[in-house]
Amino acid sequence: GLGHEKEVEKYTLTFQSVPDHQIIGFIPGVGISSFTYVHHGTISEAHLKLVEFNQPLKSSDVKKVD
């Protein structure tokens, strides 16, 4: 994973309108790290958060088994 001790660059994308708003967290090299949706007229909400990410192996790190 990324490790807790590392500082990572994070970006926030926000879309806000009269009926609702959406907030997306993005980390380069990882992708979407969080998503929030809130409707302003009803009790509809969604809150998602990436809790773990493991970097895929590089093809040069993979050993072939015969």
pLDDT digits (tens, 9 = 90+) for 10-65: 999 999 999 999 999 999 989 999 999 999 988 899 999 999 988 777 766 666 67
Give the strands of the sheet with 20-27, arranged side by side: 11-16, 20-27, 31-39, 45-49
The residue among 10 and 3 whose pLDDT is bigger is 10
| pTM of full prediction above 0.85 | no
Instruction: Say which residue the tokens 């990410």 belong to.
Output: 53
Q: How confident is the model at residue 8 (pLDDT cuts 50, 70, 90)?
A: confident
The predicted pLDDT at position 65 comes to 75
Contacts 24+ apart (CB under 8 A), 60-63: none
The predicted pLDDT at position 62 comes to 66
